[in-house]
Structures are given as structure tokens and as C-alpha cells.
Amino acid sequence: MSKQDLRESSVPYSRLPPNPNHQNVVVLPVYYHLPYDNFRCLRRCLAIAVVVLLFSAAAFFLYPSDPALELARLQLNHVGVHSSPKLTLDLSFSLTIRVRNRDFFSLDYDKLVVSVGYRGRELGVVSSAGGRVRARGSSYVNATLDLDGLEVVHDVIYLLSDWAKGVIPFDTNTQVDGDLGLFLFKIPLKGKVSCEVYVNTSNQTIVRQDCYAK
């Protein structure tokens, strides 16, 4: 090896000319999420879901609903049609109405009203005193409707025809108005049930009755 080669090899690295093909590489550190952060986020999401579920369940169970009415018993006491001197109707019904409170608070009702009609026209109304139905409980209310010497002005032809056939259709409507005691508030509620009653004029009995709630 010559002296010139020795001198070239002894040149420091800092004095070497820059290489145009040289590239700088920057190495960034890798960050990892800690398992505790993932667990805390999951726990927070579960807590929010539980709170929403509890509020939804409370709204479902505490939301007030109208009382359910059911015609537990209907008895025909008497029915009669008189044609002289005027066309009049004698009718007597005894009813037992079941008032069912479906809410988790007590229900106070002012009165229970029962009306009887013929072919869409009201013949008479009877009302009973008010009362209280405990939460998720039922109460039975008795009522008697008596119509004596009711003059029939409309639907005379239909009434005579039904009397000749031996079966007269009547319709009954039962309604109850009350207040639901929700903490310090009073929420008005209303329930109604309608029935179609077919009465046999020969043996003074009820042939069929069809009821539906409104």
C-alpha cells in the first residue's frame, strides 16, 4: 500500500463528501393503550346503558293507563211493550260492573254511569256513587236501571217488529271517570265499555251479549 493510500484512508468521516443517495430515516415510538383505559371506557358505557334501561322501565310501569271496565253480570228483571193508549216500553236491568285498576297507584272515581239505548238512541241513564280502587286491584259496582212507561217516539216500527220476532236488541254503555293519585298530582282517567244485549221477550231472559271496551 502506498503512502498516498494511507493518507486517504486516514481522513475523518466528518470530512467525507456527502452522498447524494443517502436517506434519513426517522423512527417514531409506538404507543400502546393500557388495558385499564379500555376497561374504564367499557364500564362507563355499561353504566349509561343501565341508567337508560332503568328509566325506560320506570316510564313503562308508572305511565298511567285508563281503568278497564268489564260487565261481570247482567240480569234482565222485566221487559214489556204497551201499545195503548200510547206505545210505551217497560224495561229493568240489574248490572254488576267490574272496575280494574291496572296502575301502581290508587284510583278514585267520582261516579259510574250506565246508559241503555235502542238502535242508537238513548232510553235511560243510571249512575252510582264513587269509590276507590286500590293499586293493581278491582272493585265491583252494582247498578239497576228501571224504565217504566217510557214513550217510544222514534223507531216505533222497528220496536214492534222486534217484539213480534221475540228478540229485542239493546245496547248498554258504561263509563267511569276518576283521578289517579300519582304522588302529589291528580291525573284524570276515563274508562268505557259497550255491550249489545239481545233480550228474549217470551221467557224474559238474555239470549246473547257482546261487549267490547273503548
Reported for 77-84, long-range contacts at CB under 8 A and 24+ positions apart, including other chains, are 77/144, 77/146, 78/204, 79/168, 79/199, 79/201, 79/204, 81/159, 81/160, 81/163, 81/201, 82/149, 83/160
**Cα 166 to chain centroid, rounded:** 41
Give the pLDDT band of residue 3 (cuts 50, 70, 90).
very low
Strands lying side by side in the sheet with 138-151: 68-82, 88-100, 138-151
The pLDDT, as a whole number, for residue 31 is 53
User: What is the amino acid identity at position 130?
Assistant: G
Identify the sign of the CA torsion 75, 80, 86, 87.
positive
The pLDDT, as a whole number, for residue 58 is 67
Cβ within 8 Å of residue 67, ≥6 positions away: 99, 100, 101, 102, 107, 109, 133, 176, 178, 189, 191
pLDDT tens-digit readout, 136-163: 899 998 988 888 888 877 788 888 899 8
Q: Round to whole Å and give the CA distance between 214 and 212.
A: 7
Could you identify the residue written with the cell 302529589?
A: 184
Which of the 8 DSSP states describes residue 18? P
Identify the burial level of 49 via C-beta atoms within 10 angstroms of its C-beta, where 0-12 means exposed, 13-18 middle and 19 or more buried. Answer: exposed
Q: Round to whole Å and give the CA distance between 97 and 190.
A: 15
38 or 90, which is more confident?
90
pLDDT tens-digit readout, 106-127: 888 888 899 999 988 888 898 8
* 23 has a pLDDT exceeding 70: no
* 77 has a pLDDT exceeding 70: yes
* 13 has a pLDDT exceeding 50: no
93 in Cβ contact with 209 (< 8 Å): no
Q: Round to whole Å and give the CA distance between 57 and 47.
A: 15
